Structure 1
Amino acid sequence: MSKTATPSKPKSAAKSAGKSPAKTANDKIDRKAPALAPHITCRDAAKAIEFYKKAFGAVELMRLPGPDGKLMHAAVQINGAMVMLNDEMPDYGALSPLSLKGTAVTLHLNVPDVDVWFARAVKAGATATMPVADMFWGDRYGIVTDPFGHAWSIATHQKDMSVDDIQKALKAMGDLPCPDAAQVSQKASQKRAGH
Protein backbone atom coordinates (compact mmCIF):
# COMPACT_ATOMS: atom_id res chain seq x y z
CA MET A 1 0.00 0.00 0.00
CA SER A 2 1.45 3.38 -0.91
CA LYS A 3 1.44 6.43 1.29
CA THR A 4 1.21 9.84 -0.29
CA ALA A 5 2.90 12.56 1.72
CA THR A 6 0.74 15.58 2.42
CA PRO A 7 1.66 18.86 4.06
CA SER A 8 0.70 19.20 7.70
CA LYS A 9 0.27 22.19 9.99
CA PRO A 10 3.39 23.16 11.85
CA LYS A 11 3.21 21.59 15.30
CA SER A 12 3.73 24.95 16.97
CA ALA A 13 0.54 26.29 15.34
CA ALA A 14 -1.45 23.33 16.62
CA LYS A 15 -0.04 23.75 20.13
CA SER A 16 -0.79 27.46 20.21
CA ALA A 17 -4.39 26.71 19.27
CA GLY A 18 -4.57 24.42 22.31
CA LYS A 19 -5.00 21.32 20.18
CA SER A 20 -2.77 18.36 19.64
CA PRO A 21 -1.16 18.23 16.19
CA ALA A 22 -3.29 16.72 13.43
CA LYS A 23 -2.22 13.29 12.27
CA THR A 24 -1.30 13.17 8.58
CA ALA A 25 0.44 10.76 6.23
CA ASN A 26 3.67 12.60 7.14
CA ASP A 27 3.35 11.41 10.72
CA LYS A 28 3.58 7.81 9.51
CA ILE A 29 6.89 8.24 7.68
CA ASP A 30 9.89 7.03 9.65
CA ARG A 31 12.06 10.13 9.85
CA LYS A 32 15.09 8.18 11.12
CA ALA A 33 17.04 8.10 7.88
CA PRO A 34 19.70 5.45 7.39
CA ALA A 35 23.32 6.57 7.36
CA LEU A 36 23.44 5.97 3.59
CA ALA A 37 20.64 5.33 1.14
CA PRO A 38 20.85 5.33 -2.66
CA HIS A 39 18.62 7.84 -4.47
CA ILE A 40 18.13 6.72 -8.07
CA THR A 41 16.51 8.39 -11.06
CA CYS A 42 14.24 6.25 -13.23
CA ARG A 43 12.41 6.72 -16.48
CA ASP A 44 8.89 6.06 -15.12
CA ALA A 45 9.55 5.68 -11.40
CA ALA A 46 6.03 4.34 -10.76
CA LYS A 47 6.78 1.37 -13.05
CA ALA A 48 10.16 0.99 -11.36
CA ILE A 49 8.47 0.67 -7.97
CA GLU A 50 6.23 -2.11 -9.30
CA PHE A 51 9.25 -3.84 -10.86
CA TYR A 52 11.22 -3.66 -7.58
CA LYS A 53 8.26 -5.20 -5.75
CA LYS A 54 8.27 -8.19 -8.15
CA ALA A 55 12.02 -8.52 -8.58
CA PHE A 56 13.31 -7.82 -5.08
CA GLY A 57 10.27 -8.01 -2.80
CA ALA A 58 10.34 -4.23 -2.25
CA VAL A 59 7.96 -2.64 0.21
CA GLU A 60 6.71 0.75 -0.87
CA LEU A 61 7.22 3.39 1.82
CA MET A 62 5.92 6.55 0.13
CA ARG A 63 5.28 8.50 -3.08
CA LEU A 64 5.35 12.26 -3.57
CA PRO A 65 3.97 13.16 -7.00
CA GLY A 66 4.44 16.64 -8.41
CA PRO A 67 1.69 18.70 -10.05
CA ASP A 68 2.41 16.98 -13.39
CA GLY A 69 2.02 13.52 -11.82
CA LYS A 70 5.72 12.65 -12.07
CA LEU A 71 7.26 11.30 -8.90
CA MET A 72 9.41 13.99 -7.32
CA HIS A 73 10.32 11.55 -4.58
CA ALA A 74 9.47 8.01 -3.56
CA ALA A 75 10.97 5.44 -1.24
CA VAL A 76 10.94 1.66 -1.07
CA GLN A 77 12.58 -0.81 1.25
CA ILE A 78 14.54 -3.63 -0.37
CA ASN A 79 16.13 -6.36 1.71
CA GLY A 80 15.89 -4.13 4.79
CA ALA A 81 17.44 -1.05 3.15
CA MET A 82 15.80 2.15 1.95
CA VAL A 83 16.12 3.06 -1.73
CA MET A 84 14.83 6.48 -2.76
CA LEU A 85 13.83 7.23 -6.33
CA ASN A 86 12.36 9.87 -8.60
CA ASP A 87 11.27 10.31 -12.20
CA GLU A 88 13.58 11.76 -14.81
CA MET A 89 13.50 15.56 -14.81
CA PRO A 90 15.80 16.65 -17.64
CA ASP A 91 15.23 20.35 -16.95
CA TYR A 92 16.87 19.81 -13.55
CA GLY A 93 19.60 17.45 -14.74
CA ALA A 94 17.93 14.36 -13.24
CA LEU A 95 18.56 11.73 -15.92
CA SER A 96 18.23 7.96 -15.72
CA PRO A 97 20.84 5.46 -16.89
CA LEU A 98 18.69 4.92 -19.99
CA SER A 99 19.15 8.57 -20.98
CA LEU A 100 22.81 8.53 -19.96
CA LYS A 101 23.44 5.27 -21.91
CA GLY A 102 24.83 3.49 -18.85
CA THR A 103 25.55 3.85 -15.16
CA ALA A 104 28.67 4.22 -13.05
CA VAL A 105 26.94 2.83 -9.95
CA THR A 106 25.98 -0.69 -8.94
CA LEU A 107 23.47 -1.36 -6.17
CA HIS A 108 24.57 -4.41 -4.17
CA LEU A 109 22.34 -6.91 -2.38
CA ASN A 110 23.64 -9.47 0.14
CA VAL A 111 20.97 -12.15 0.29
CA PRO A 112 20.50 -15.64 1.75
CA ASP A 113 20.14 -17.33 -1.68
CA VAL A 114 21.58 -15.48 -4.68
CA ASP A 115 20.22 -18.02 -7.15
CA VAL A 116 16.63 -17.46 -6.01
CA TRP A 117 16.95 -13.65 -5.98
CA PHE A 118 18.71 -13.59 -9.37
CA ALA A 119 16.10 -15.84 -11.01
CA ARG A 120 13.24 -13.78 -9.55
CA ALA A 121 14.77 -10.54 -10.88
CA VAL A 122 15.22 -12.02 -14.36
CA LYS A 123 11.67 -13.41 -14.32
CA ALA A 124 10.40 -9.92 -13.42
CA GLY A 125 12.18 -8.42 -16.45
CA ALA A 126 15.81 -7.76 -15.46
CA THR A 127 18.60 -8.67 -17.88
CA ALA A 128 21.18 -11.17 -16.64
CA THR A 129 24.40 -9.26 -17.33
CA MET A 130 26.77 -11.50 -15.37
CA PRO A 131 25.58 -15.03 -14.59
CA VAL A 132 25.70 -16.25 -11.01
CA ALA A 133 28.95 -18.04 -10.22
CA ASP A 134 31.23 -18.82 -7.29
CA MET A 135 33.75 -15.99 -7.00
CA PHE A 136 37.37 -15.94 -5.89
CA TRP A 137 36.57 -13.68 -2.91
CA GLY A 138 34.24 -16.22 -1.28
CA ASP A 139 30.82 -15.11 -2.53
CA ARG A 140 28.39 -16.63 -5.00
CA TYR A 141 27.65 -13.58 -7.15
CA GLY A 142 25.87 -12.30 -10.26
CA ILE A 143 24.72 -9.03 -11.82
CA VAL A 144 21.41 -8.02 -13.37
CA THR A 145 20.41 -4.78 -15.04
CA ASP A 146 16.87 -3.66 -14.36
CA PRO A 147 14.58 -2.35 -17.14
CA PHE A 148 15.42 1.20 -16.00
CA GLY A 149 19.17 0.81 -16.57
CA HIS A 150 20.31 0.32 -12.97
CA ALA A 151 22.85 -2.43 -12.26
CA TRP A 152 22.26 -4.72 -9.27
CA SER A 153 24.91 -7.11 -8.02
CA ILE A 154 23.48 -9.92 -5.92
CA ALA A 155 25.57 -12.13 -3.65
CA THR A 156 25.46 -14.84 -1.04
CA HIS A 157 28.54 -15.09 1.16
CA GLN A 158 29.94 -18.62 1.13
CA LYS A 159 33.22 -18.51 3.00
CA ASP A 160 35.36 -16.05 4.92
CA MET A 161 38.72 -15.32 3.34
CA SER A 162 41.63 -13.12 4.36
CA VAL A 163 42.82 -10.38 2.00
CA ASP A 164 45.93 -12.52 1.36
CA ASP A 165 43.77 -15.53 0.44
CA ILE A 166 41.68 -13.38 -1.92
CA GLN A 167 44.81 -11.99 -3.58
CA LYS A 168 46.21 -15.52 -4.01
CA ALA A 169 42.92 -16.72 -5.52
CA LEU A 170 42.90 -13.78 -7.92
CA LYS A 171 46.50 -14.40 -8.94
CA ALA A 172 45.71 -18.08 -9.54
CA MET A 173 43.05 -17.01 -12.04
CA GLY A 174 45.74 -15.58 -14.32
CA ASP A 175 44.77 -12.97 -16.87
CA LEU A 176 41.09 -13.81 -17.08
CA PRO A 177 38.99 -10.74 -17.84
CA CYS A 178 37.08 -9.50 -14.82
CA PRO A 179 34.88 -6.58 -15.96
CA ASP A 180 33.58 -4.28 -13.29
CA ALA A 181 29.84 -3.94 -12.78
CA ALA A 182 29.69 -0.51 -14.46
CA GLN A 183 31.16 -1.95 -17.70
CA VAL A 184 28.71 -4.84 -17.60
CA SER A 185 25.80 -2.45 -17.00
CA GLN A 186 26.85 -0.13 -19.82
CA LYS A 187 26.95 -3.06 -22.27
CA ALA A 188 23.48 -4.15 -21.11
CA SER A 189 22.12 -0.60 -21.52
CA GLN A 190 23.56 -0.41 -25.03
CA LYS A 191 22.03 -3.79 -25.84
CA ARG A 192 18.62 -2.54 -24.62
CA ALA A 193 18.95 0.64 -26.70
CA GLY A 194 19.75 -1.43 -29.80
CA HIS A 195 23.40 -0.35 -30.21
Structure 2
Amino acid sequence: MTETTPATITVTTLTPHIACRNAEEAIEFYQKAFGAQLLMKMNIPGDGRVIHADLSIDGARFYVVDEFPEQGGKSPQALGGSPVMLSLQVEDCDAVFAKAIEAGCTVQMPLADMFWGDRWGLLVDPYGHSWSISTPKQRLTAEEIREQMSTIDMSAGCGSPA
Protein backbone atom coordinates (compact mmCIF):
# COMPACT_ATOMS: atom_id res chain seq x y z
CA MET A 1 0.00 0.00 0.00
CA THR A 2 1.31 3.44 -0.90
CA GLU A 3 1.35 6.11 1.78
CA THR A 4 0.05 9.51 0.84
CA THR A 5 0.68 12.87 2.38
CA PRO A 6 -2.50 14.66 3.42
CA ALA A 7 -3.22 17.82 1.45
CA THR A 8 -3.16 21.05 3.39
CA ILE A 9 -4.73 24.37 2.58
CA THR A 10 -2.22 27.16 3.07
CA VAL A 11 -4.25 30.02 1.63
CA THR A 12 -7.90 30.51 0.71
CA THR A 13 -8.45 30.76 -3.04
CA LEU A 14 -11.40 31.13 -5.36
CA THR A 15 -10.73 29.66 -8.79
CA PRO A 16 -13.13 30.04 -11.73
CA HIS A 17 -14.07 26.73 -13.35
CA ILE A 18 -15.41 27.57 -16.81
CA ALA A 19 -17.22 25.27 -19.22
CA CYS A 20 -16.52 25.72 -22.92
CA ARG A 21 -17.91 24.16 -26.05
CA ASN A 22 -14.72 22.53 -27.42
CA ALA A 23 -12.38 22.99 -24.44
CA GLU A 24 -9.30 21.85 -26.41
CA GLU A 25 -9.80 24.76 -28.81
CA ALA A 26 -10.59 27.14 -25.93
CA ILE A 27 -7.36 26.23 -24.13
CA GLU A 28 -5.37 27.10 -27.26
CA PHE A 29 -7.33 30.35 -27.55
CA TYR A 30 -6.59 31.38 -23.93
CA GLN A 31 -2.91 30.65 -24.53
CA LYS A 32 -2.90 32.87 -27.62
CA ALA A 33 -5.19 35.65 -26.33
CA PHE A 34 -3.98 36.00 -22.74
CA GLY A 35 -0.64 34.17 -22.66
CA ALA A 36 -2.14 31.45 -20.44
CA GLN A 37 0.06 28.53 -19.51
CA LEU A 38 -1.41 25.04 -19.44
CA LEU A 39 -0.35 23.50 -16.13
CA MET A 40 -2.25 20.22 -16.42
CA LYS A 41 -5.00 18.64 -18.50
CA MET A 42 -7.04 15.44 -18.22
CA ASN A 43 -9.29 13.98 -20.89
CA ILE A 44 -11.92 11.28 -20.46
CA PRO A 45 -10.53 8.05 -21.94
CA GLY A 46 -12.43 6.97 -25.05
CA ASP A 47 -14.58 10.09 -25.07
CA GLY A 48 -11.79 12.68 -25.30
CA ARG A 49 -13.64 15.49 -23.58
CA VAL A 50 -11.59 17.67 -21.24
CA ILE A 51 -12.68 16.88 -17.70
CA HIS A 52 -10.11 19.23 -16.14
CA ALA A 53 -7.54 21.70 -17.43
CA ASP A 54 -5.60 23.95 -15.07
CA LEU A 55 -4.40 27.20 -16.65
CA SER A 56 -2.51 30.20 -15.30
CA ILE A 57 -2.23 33.78 -16.52
CA ASP A 58 0.76 35.26 -14.67
CA GLY A 59 -0.11 33.20 -11.59
CA ALA A 60 -3.90 33.77 -11.77
CA ARG A 61 -5.37 30.28 -12.09
CA PHE A 62 -8.56 29.13 -13.77
CA TYR A 63 -9.93 25.78 -14.84
CA VAL A 64 -11.43 24.89 -18.22
CA VAL A 65 -13.67 21.90 -18.96
CA ASP A 66 -15.79 20.73 -21.85
CA GLU A 67 -19.55 20.96 -21.64
CA PHE A 68 -21.12 18.05 -19.77
CA PRO A 69 -24.84 18.72 -20.35
CA GLU A 70 -25.73 15.26 -19.05
CA GLN A 71 -24.43 16.44 -15.66
CA GLY A 72 -25.69 20.03 -15.90
CA GLY A 73 -22.35 21.43 -17.11
CA LYS A 74 -23.32 23.89 -19.83
CA SER A 75 -21.28 26.54 -21.60
CA PRO A 76 -22.41 30.15 -22.11
CA GLN A 77 -23.15 29.16 -25.73
CA ALA A 78 -25.64 26.52 -24.53
CA LEU A 79 -27.16 28.93 -22.00
CA GLY A 80 -27.36 31.92 -24.35
CA GLY A 81 -24.79 33.93 -22.36
CA SER A 82 -23.17 34.03 -18.95
CA PRO A 83 -23.89 36.20 -15.90
CA VAL A 84 -20.27 35.76 -14.77
CA MET A 85 -17.43 38.13 -15.59
CA LEU A 86 -13.79 37.07 -15.28
CA SER A 87 -11.73 40.06 -14.11
CA LEU A 88 -8.08 40.13 -15.12
CA GLN A 89 -5.94 42.89 -13.63
CA VAL A 90 -2.64 43.33 -15.49
CA GLU A 91 0.26 45.74 -15.71
CA ASP A 92 -0.59 46.89 -19.26
CA CYS A 93 -4.29 46.47 -20.05
CA ASP A 94 -3.92 48.20 -23.43
CA ALA A 95 -1.47 45.54 -24.66
CA VAL A 96 -3.51 42.63 -23.25
CA PHE A 97 -6.76 44.05 -24.66
CA ALA A 98 -5.24 44.48 -28.14
CA LYS A 99 -3.76 40.96 -28.11
CA ALA A 100 -7.09 39.44 -27.02
CA ILE A 101 -8.97 41.30 -29.79
CA GLU A 102 -6.42 40.13 -32.34
CA ALA A 103 -6.92 36.55 -31.11
CA GLY A 104 -10.70 36.78 -31.58
CA CYS A 105 -12.34 38.48 -28.58
CA THR A 106 -15.17 40.94 -29.21
CA VAL A 107 -15.20 44.34 -27.52
CA GLN A 108 -18.23 44.85 -25.30
CA MET A 109 -16.93 48.06 -23.69
CA PRO A 110 -13.75 49.73 -24.98
CA LEU A 111 -10.90 50.55 -22.62
CA ALA A 112 -11.39 53.81 -20.75
CA ASP A 113 -10.15 55.52 -17.61
CA MET A 114 -12.91 54.74 -15.12
CA PHE A 115 -14.29 56.64 -12.14
CA TRP A 116 -12.95 54.08 -9.64
CA GLY A 117 -9.35 54.71 -10.72
CA ASP A 118 -8.69 51.84 -13.14
CA ARG A 119 -8.22 51.79 -16.88
CA TRP A 120 -10.82 49.15 -17.73
CA GLY A 121 -12.56 47.46 -20.65
CA LEU A 122 -14.78 44.46 -21.30
CA LEU A 123 -14.34 41.68 -23.86
CA VAL A 124 -16.27 38.54 -24.76
CA ASP A 125 -14.28 35.52 -25.88
CA PRO A 126 -15.43 33.20 -28.70
CA TYR A 127 -16.81 30.77 -26.08
CA GLY A 128 -19.17 33.34 -24.54
CA HIS A 129 -17.16 34.21 -21.42
CA SER A 130 -16.86 37.91 -20.46
CA TRP A 131 -13.45 39.23 -19.45
CA SER A 132 -12.86 42.60 -17.82
CA ILE A 133 -9.27 43.70 -18.38
CA SER A 134 -7.89 46.46 -16.17
CA THR A 135 -4.85 48.27 -14.87
CA PRO A 136 -5.05 50.32 -11.66
CA LYS A 137 -4.14 53.96 -12.34
CA GLN A 138 -5.14 55.73 -9.09
CA ARG A 139 -5.83 54.53 -5.57
CA LEU A 140 -9.06 56.26 -4.55
CA THR A 141 -11.02 56.18 -1.31
CA ALA A 142 -14.66 55.05 -1.33
CA GLU A 143 -15.70 58.69 -0.87
CA GLU A 144 -13.59 59.82 -3.86
CA ILE A 145 -15.13 57.06 -5.98
CA ARG A 146 -18.65 58.15 -4.96
CA GLU A 147 -17.78 61.76 -5.86
CA GLN A 148 -16.40 60.71 -9.26
CA MET A 149 -19.44 58.50 -9.89
CA SER A 150 -21.83 61.40 -9.27
CA THR A 151 -20.42 63.13 -12.38
CA ILE A 152 -20.97 60.11 -14.63
CA ASP A 153 -23.85 59.37 -17.00
CA MET A 154 -24.58 55.78 -15.93
CA SER A 155 -27.08 55.22 -18.77
CA ALA A 156 -24.10 54.14 -20.89
CA GLY A 157 -23.14 51.29 -18.53
CA CYS A 158 -20.14 52.08 -16.36
CA GLY A 159 -20.39 55.55 -17.74
CA SER A 160 -18.45 58.29 -19.35
CA PRO A 161 -17.92 61.79 -18.05
CA ALA A 162 -21.13 63.83 -18.20
**Residue number among 56, 61, 68 corresponding to 2:34 in the alignment:** 56
Aligned to 1:129: 108
2: distance between equivalents of 1:151 and 1:137? 20
Q: Is the 8 A contact 1:134 1:141 kept in 2?
A: yes
| Identity value in percent | 44
Q: What is the 5 A alignment of 1:86-101?
A: 86-101=65-80
How far the C-alpha of 1:35 sits from its partner, in A, is 1.3
Aligned to 2:2: 11
2: distance between equivalents of 1:56 and 1:34? 24
How far the C-alpha of 1:34 sits from its partner, in A, is 6.1
Aligned to 1:153: 132
Matched, 1:172 2:151: yes
Q: Show structure 2 runs of 5+ residues with no match.
A: none
Matched, 1:80 2:71: no
1: distance between equivalents of 2:32 and 2:11? 24
2: distance between equivalents of 1:175 and 1:98? 28
Aligned to 1:36: 14
Cα-to-partner distance string for 1:83-112 (whole Å, 9 max, x where unaligned): 111100111110000110111110001111
**Residue number among 97, 109, 112 corresponding to 2:88 in the alignment:** 109
Task: Give the SS at the match of 2:138.
Answer: coil
2: distance between equivalents of 1:34 and 1:146? 28
More strand by share: 2
Aligned to 2:49: 70
Aligned to 1:7: none
Q: Is the 8 A contact 1:44 1:87 kept in 2?
A: yes
Residue 174 to residue 86, structure 1, CA distance change in 2 (3 Å):
closer
1:12 is aligned with what amino acid? E
2: distance between equivalents of 1:127 and 1:59? 22
TM-score when scaled to structure 1? 0.74
1: distance between equivalents of 2:153 and 2:123? 25
How far the C-alpha of 1:33 sits from its partner, in A, is 8.1
TM-score when scaled to structure 2? 0.89
Q: Single out whichever of 44-53 and 166-175 deviates more from structure 2.
A: 166-175
2: distance between equivalents of 1:117 and 1:48? 17
How far the C-alpha of 1:65 sits from its partner, in A, is 0.3
1: distance between equivalents of 2:10 and 2:102? 34
